[in-house]
Amino acid sequence: MNPHSVRSQYNQRPPRTGSLPPSSRPMNIHKPSDPILLNKPSKETNDVPLKSKDVNIPTRPIASNSRIRRDSGYRKDMYLAFVHNAMQQKLKGATEPFDELVSQFDSRKLGTDDGATISQLRSWISALSHVVSQLEPAHSTLVDAILGIPWTLLDAAFVKSYISFIGMLVSARPEYLVPVLTRTAQGLTHQSGFKSLLTNIPESSTNPLTRGTVYDRHHSLLQHLLSLIPTLPSSLQPLLIRNFPHKRLPKSSQVTFIRNLLRIADYCPSLSDKIIGTIVERAIQIDVEIQIDLDELEEFQAENNAEIIDMDPFENPVDAPDDDDEDSEGEDGEDETGFSDISSDAGESTGDVQDMAEQPPDVAHISSMAQKLDAILKLLLQHFEEIRLPRPPTPPEGSRTPSGMPGFLPPEERHEIRVRQFYTLLSIFDSTIIKTLKSRYTQFLLFWFTSLDPQFVDLFEGLLVSKALVEEAQPAIIRVAAASYIGSFVSRSTCVDQQSARQVVHYLCLFLGDYARSIPPGTQINPAQHGVFYAVAQSLFLIFCFRWRDFHVGDAKDDLEFELGFEQSFGDSKPKAWISDLDVVQQIVHSPLNPLKFCSVNVVKQFARVANKTGFLYVHPILEMNKRMEYSTLQSRQAVSTKRTAVVNAQALSTTDLNTFFPFDPFHLPLSRSYIEPIYREWQSVELQGSDDEDEYDDEGDDDDDEADQDEDEDDARTETEGIHIRRASPGSKDDVDEGLGRSFEGMSISPVRPPWPTSSF
């Protein structure tokens, strides 16, 4: 028998003789709190007993998709009618239906017996999508309630409906754009309230909801709004800055928000430059607080069994415990929720630096700040590297690749983005980094970026040469800092080729020669008035120590002898040929300016050693003369030191003291170090071979006088009302005599723990 036949017994049913028993009636699965269901008439009242003559009534049709769609449409119409009526009644002063509608979006009742289900919320959102143009200021409480629900924690279907509704809302009512963006910007932070919001929300899958998924949904909303409102970036940018986590907040807070910012920079290019600038400024704020050698931090971590683990907060479930291990307390007078401290810590006043120098460093705090800075620099370098790669790297299993990643762009567009980002970094360097003499690591962003294109090397060197040698209107301290950057960059970067190094040396020598010739013979030299000259000379000495092979024009046999350690005394071998620009070095070391006396002791000693071993210059007599002069000057200063008055101390406030500055000292941050090491020239790789046991430039016997000598040098600088104090090269310094030249040269620090004088006052 065919069961599908119209005459089949399967197509007939026995007659109904009365009402069904209560146990067999279909249960109402909807909650009675739904105002739609409360007003809906019951179909059970239409049931009437059937008589026996009704046995042959027509068969009831089987449920079909059309009936389901019809019922769904009827339900939507009921929701829409209720919403429309509630909004109209609100305008007329009747608030009860409207208040009932608002209560449906109460996040505190979500998932409870008194609250709406996720399915009902989706129906309400769908109904409201049809009347967004009717929303008036009187309905603002409804909009606030909708914006306050934890929509990113709900199922994917609701998220899709919600994003669509918000797009229609801000398109029809632009006044709600800022509240929407404010909530979204706050949602990109490392929030701690997820666990309480998840209490009543049913799990939609076996996989726990991660923070990364929540952030993905916020980005989906932002991208949708960007497609609708081209002017949105101007409203979004200040909100992002306002929600930037305070520098005292844990590393997880910094990493989370910065990762989200960099993702916005990918799909919103108009904000990219401002986002990069904001992140770099935050890195500088943290950088200036790391004023001890990281070797001490490593000892501290070893003593406390501390281990640096690169955790990904995006992979953590939203209900996982928060990271409370780090100090999250803000400083007095600082706004933890704002970004008001941008540039406020780039430099301190003279009194602030002196107070800091008198206090022992908080190693635990500095260790925490170093880890934050390391994580920030790594994120920025990863972001920049995505532009360099021809295609995005294969992400590890379970990770997310942001949409709009620049790696998907063609080579021409990637090059344009690289150039734009480089100029952004160059602008930040010009406006902020070069003025922050206490920065130790942030400048390595530009150091790394120059490795992407030889043109970037040329542009960076051009900026430094211009500021140090050409722009005489620049403040002296900026010119000195630029000169220090020149020497450190050319010495340390493996991306600076021979031609570029020679070109820089040409300009340095040209400046030094002209400057030295402008000083008449017999002039009494005050080093505080010639700070730029000594900074340029020191950079030239430093470059020669690292790059002398690029300036030697002899044959390969001579270079091989040096590499193998066959050292001859000066004058025993045939003269070596050097580039003609270096002829000026002999002139300046014998000039009244006497740079070997006032430049850094480590640089002077290493230059003297390398110059002698390579046959370039023999300066031992000058160093001996400087030592004798230093001793006699010390005695005369001690005789008059007690006559100094308070007026002299007042004059010191107008003197900018500059400590020895080496911007690209060895890089020790563990997570981001892998980006710097391949392009960084270590001293051990270029150091001349040979014994240091009989180093004729190590002085003996003057250790007891060093401290007094330093104090008198500082007092001498305070007698001047202008200029930059350059520490004298004290060849008898205890610290330098006790350790080998190579080790001391590699360990030069730009920011000692207890600076003997203020380093900057920006």
pLDDT tens-digit map of 103-139: 999 888 876 767 778 888 999 999 999 999 999 999 9
User: With 70 as the cut, is the pLDDT of residue 237 above it?
Assistant: yes
pLDDT surpasses 50 at 719: no
- What CA–CA distances, in Å, run from 375 to 37, 256, 269? 54, 10, 23
User: In terms of domains, do 436 and 465 share one?
Assistant: no
| Whole-number pLDDT of residue 75 | 79
**pLDDT higher at 755 or 635:** 635
Please indicate, yes or no, whether residues 617 and 479 belong to a single structural domain of this protein: yes
Which domain-ending residue is among 157, 191, 213?
A: 213
Residues 506 and 591 in one domain: yes
Q: How many helices (H) and strands (E) does the chain have?
A: 31, 2
- Predicted confidence band at 206 (pLDDT cuts at 50, 70, 90)? low
Contacts of 215 (CB under 8 A, 6+ apart): 187, 188, 256, 260, 314
Tokens of 33: 């709190």
Q: Could you give the number of structural domains in the chain?
A: 3
Please indicate, yes or no, whether residues 437 and 324 belong to a single structural domain of this protein.
Answer: yes
Q: Classify residue 280: in a domain, yes or no.
A: yes
**What are the distances in angstroms from CA 322 to CA 149, 247, 257, 317, 634?**
22, 17, 15, 10, 60
Domain's final residue, options 169, 196, 213: 213
Question: What pTM was computed for the model?
Answer: 0.77
pLDDT at 669 over 80: yes
Residues 503 and 428 reside in one and the same domain: no
Bigger pLDDT: 373 vs 318: 373
Give the whole-angstrom CA distance, residue 181 versus residue 221.
10
Please check whether residue 252 is in contact with residue 192, taking contact to mean a CB–CB distance below 8 angstroms. no
Give the pLDDT mean for 664-684.
94
pLDDT in tens, 23-33: 444 444 344 45
Instruction: Establish if 734 belongs to a structural domain.
Output: yes
Q: Judge if 264 and 329 occupy the same domain.
A: yes
CB atoms closer than 10 angstroms to residue 522: 6
Which residues are registered as beta bridge partners of 656? 724
Name the token pair of 67.
């009936």
Question: In angstroms, rounded to a whole number, what is the distance separating the alpha carbons of residues 252 and 321?
Answer: 12
> Is 43 contained in some domain?
no
Please provide residue 210's backbone torsions phi and psi, each rounded to the nearest 5 degrees: -100, 160
Yes or no: say if 732 and 632 are a contact pair by the CB < 8 Å rule.
no
Question: How far from 342 is each of 241, 286, 327, 432, CA to CA, in Å?
Answer: 10, 11, 20, 11
Per-residue tokens: 92: 């007329």
What span, in angstroms and rounded, lies between the C-alpha atoms of 290 and 417? Answer: 32
Q: What is the pLDDT of residue 316?
A: 77
Residues 181 and 267 in one domain: no
**Single-letter amino acid, residue 294:** L
Which residues, in sequence order, are CB contacts of 252 under 8 Å at separation 6+?
190, 311, 313, 322, 323
**How sure is the predictor about 411, in pLDDT bands with cuts at 50, 70 and 90?**
confident
d(C-alpha 329, C-alpha 250), whole Å:
9
Q: Which of 146-150, 231-235, 334-338 has the lowest mean pLDDT?
A: 334-338
CA distances from 461 to 274, 422, 512 (A): 24, 13, 17
Provide mean pLDDT across the span 687-707.
51
- Compute the distance between CA of residue 254 and CA of residue 274 in angstroms, rounded to an integer: 17
What is the largest distance, in Å, between two alpha-carbon atoms of the chain? 136
Q: Are strands 724-725 and 656-657 parallel, antiparallel or unpaired?
A: parallel
Going 109 to 110 to 114 to 120, the CA torsion angle's sign is positive
DSSP secondary structure letter of residue 624? H
Q: How far apart are CA 4 and CA 164, in angstroms?
A: 44
CB 390 within 8 A of CB 269: no
pLDDT value of position 525: 85
More confident residue, 88 or 337: 88
Same domain, 94 and 197: yes
Count of CB atoms situated within 10 Å of the CB of 158: 19
Which residues does 415 contact at the CB level (< 8 Å), separation at least 6?
Answer: none
- What is the pLDDT confidence band of residue 524, given thresholds at 50, 70 and 90? confident
611: Cβ contacts below 8 Å, ≥ 6 apart: 544, 617, 618, 619
Name the residue with tokens 């002296």: 476
Rounded to whole angstroms, how far apart are CA atoms 354 and 626? 30
Residues 537 and 636 grouped into a single domain: yes
Rounded Cα distance, 395 and 24, in Å: 55
- 370: Cα within 13 Å, side-chain hemisphere: 25
- In angstroms, rounded to a whole number, what is the distance separating the alpha carbons of residues 46 and 351? 90
Contact indicator for 665, 440 with CB cutoff of 8 Å: yes
Q: Is 760 among the domain residues? A: no
Instruction: Please indicate, yes or no, whether residues 557 and 685 belong to a single structural domain of this protein.
Output: yes
Question: What was the pLDDT predicted at 688?
Answer: 80
Q: How far is residue 582's CA from residue 489's CA, in Å, rounded to a whole number?
A: 19
For residue 169, being part of any structural domain is answered with yes
Residues 508 and 383 in one domain: no
pLDDT recorded at residue 660: 65
What are phi and psi for residue 162, nearest 5 degrees?
-65, -45
In contact, 490 and 480? CB cutoff 8 Å: no
Taking residue 238's Cβ as centre, other Cβ atoms within 10 Å add up to 14
> Which of residues 267 and 567 earns the better pLDDT score?
267
Structural domain for 380, as ranges: 244-393+402-442
> Which structure tokens are listed for 34?
């739904």
Q: What is the mean pLDDT of residues 433-448?
A: 94
- H or E stretch at 81: helix 65-92
Tell me which residue of 230, 124, 227, 140 sits closest to 179, measured CA to CA. 140
More confident call, 661 vs 491: 491
* Bigger pLDDT: 59 vs 396: 59
How far apart CA 170 and CA 118 sit, in angstroms, is 23
The shares of helix, strand and coil residues in the chain, as percent rounded to the nearest 5, are: 60, 0, 40
My answer on whether 202 and 266 are in the same domain is no
In a domain, 182, yes or no: yes
**Residue 51 class from Cβ within 10 Å (0-12 exposed, 13-18 middle, 19+ buried)?**
exposed
**DSSP alpha helices (H): ranges in 268-349?**
272-287, 294-303
Of residues 536 and 74, more confidence is placed in 536
In a domain, 590, yes or no: yes
Residue 337 has pLDDT above 70, yes or no: no
SS3 680: strand
Instruction: Kindly calculate the radius of gyration of the chain based on its CA atoms and give it in whole angstroms.
Output: 37
Count CB-CB contacts under 10 A for residue 76: 14
Mean pLDDT of the chain: 75
> Is 42 domain-assigned?
no
Q: 668, exposed or middle or buried, with CB in 10 Å at 0-12, 13-18, 19+?
A: middle
Top pLDDT among 505 and 626 is at 505
Residue 661 falls in which region: left (phi positive, over 0), alpha (psi -120 to 50) or beta:
beta
Residue 699 near residue 737, CB atoms below 8 Å: yes
Torsion of CA 600, 605, 609, 612, to 10 degrees: 80
